[in-house]
């Protein structure tokens, strides 16, 4: 069992902050040990300190990527917390259906999509509740910094435990096909989504459109205040002036971020540009 030295842990924290803006608290050494053990076994004979040192050298791009992905938090599940469905069904889509009725376009971005459950939840919601959108040009973009998370998201294939978490049985029956012990979301839904590799703290693709709805849920809470505000300002520039930003259920926003609550005096994590 390898223990992480203080120096190595500081190097790891600096690396994660630089690569994905993940602000790792000082008391998470045990977490780093648990998450890096396998990688250390593969690359440095189980020595996590050596792994961190190797990954932090300039020439070790691939290993650095593997290390960062191993440390990333990919927690997600279908229809995570009721605000997702409620905000789409009660407010955002009904309002945008009215406002965009002339050009019939709708653009939605899941900006930290992890393994895809969030954007597939949105695609299922739109398909089930807003059949009129079938005649619209609906753009669904899902992005993440992690190539391994994106690969799984693109495949849309989930195991029993993932299927049991948050997915209504009706949706399971309607939108998924069994593939052995796994379940795969049907091609017709999968094809509606464009998956892209985007690291929120690096350059964003120039062709990224302006969005009517941005989902940035349960990601900013891992960022430092500076990175958080920097990303939020860029999200603000990428959101149309009457668009929406949806955060995680327990997240809130600073006033300087450029967004105000979509429903005045509400504490729901659901905002519009100032």
Partner 1 sequence: MANTHALVIDDSRAMRLILSDLLQQLGYEISEAGDGQEAMARLEGGDTLPTLALVDWNMPVMNGLEFIRAVRQQPCYNGMKLLVVTSEAEVSQMVEALTAGADEYLMKPFSSEALACKLEMMGLQRTERA
> How far is residue 3's CA from residue 6's CA, in Å, rounded to a whole number?
10
Question: Taking CB under 8 A as the criterion, which residues in 172-191 touch partner 1?
Answer: 172-173, 176-178
Question: Per CB under 8 A, which region of 54-62, 166-174, 192-200, 229-237 contacts partner 1?
Answer: 166-174
CA atoms within 13 A on the CB side of 40: 19
> Would you tell me how many other CB atoms lie within 10 Å of the CB of residue 26?
9
Question: Taking CB under 8 A as the criterion, which residues in 45-104 touch partner 1?
Answer: 77, 79-83
CB 50, min distance to partner 1, A: 35
| 56 closest CA partner among 6, 1, 14 | 14
267 makes contact with partner 1 (CB under 8 A): yes
CB 268, min distance to partner 1, A: 5
Q: Which is nearer to partner 1, 135 or 250 (CB)?
A: 250
Question: Taking CB under 8 A as the criterion, which residues in 145-164 touch partner 1?
Answer: 160-161, 163-164
8 A C-beta contact, residue 88 and residue 138: no
Helix, strand counts (H, E) of the chain = 12, 10
Strand order in the sheet with 105-110: 193-197, 137-144, 105-110, 211-215, 239-246, 270-273, 259-261
CB 83, min distance to partner 1, A: 5
CB 47, min distance to partner 1, A: 33
> How far is residue 66's CA from residue 56's CA, in Å, rounded to a whole number?
12
CB 183, min distance to partner 1, A: 9
Residues that bind partner 1 (CB under 8 A): 77, 79-83, 160-161, 163-166, 168-170, 172-173, 176-178, 249-250, 267-269
């Amino acid at each position: 069992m390898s223990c992480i030295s203080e120096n190595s842990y500081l190097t790891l924290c600096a690396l994660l902050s630089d690569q994905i803006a993940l602000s790792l608290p000082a008391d998470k050494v045990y977490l780093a040990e648990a998450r890096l053990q396998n990688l250390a076994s593969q690359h440095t004979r189980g020595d996590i300190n050596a792994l961190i040192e190797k990954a932090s050298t300039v020439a070790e791009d691939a290993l650095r990527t593997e290390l960062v992905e191993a440390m990333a938090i990919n927690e997600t599940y279908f229809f995570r917390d009721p605000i997702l469905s409620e905000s789409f069904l009660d407010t955002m889509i009904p309002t945008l259906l009215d406002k965009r009725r002339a050009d019939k376009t709708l653009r939605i971005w899941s900006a930290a999509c992890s393994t895809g459950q969030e954007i597939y939840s949105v695609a299922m919601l739109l398909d089930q509740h807003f059949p009129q959108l079938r005649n619209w040009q609906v753009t669904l973009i899902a992005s993440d910094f992690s190539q391994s998370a994106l690969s799984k998201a693109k495949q849309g294939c989930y195991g029993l435990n993932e299927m049991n978490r948050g997915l209504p049985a009706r949706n399971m029956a309607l939108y998924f096909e069994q593939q052995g012990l796994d379940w795969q979301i049907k091609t017709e839904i999968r094809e509606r989504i464009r998956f892209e590799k985007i690291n929120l703290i690096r350059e964003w693709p120039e062709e990224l459109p302006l969005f009517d709805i941005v989902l940035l849920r349960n990601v900013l809470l891992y960022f430092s205040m500076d990175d958080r505000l920097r990303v939020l300002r860029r999200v603000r520039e990428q959101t149309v002036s009457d668009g929406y930003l949806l955060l995680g259920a327990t997240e809130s926003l600073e006033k300087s971020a450029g967004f105000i609550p979509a429903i005045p005096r509400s504490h729901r994590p659901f905002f519009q540009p100032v």
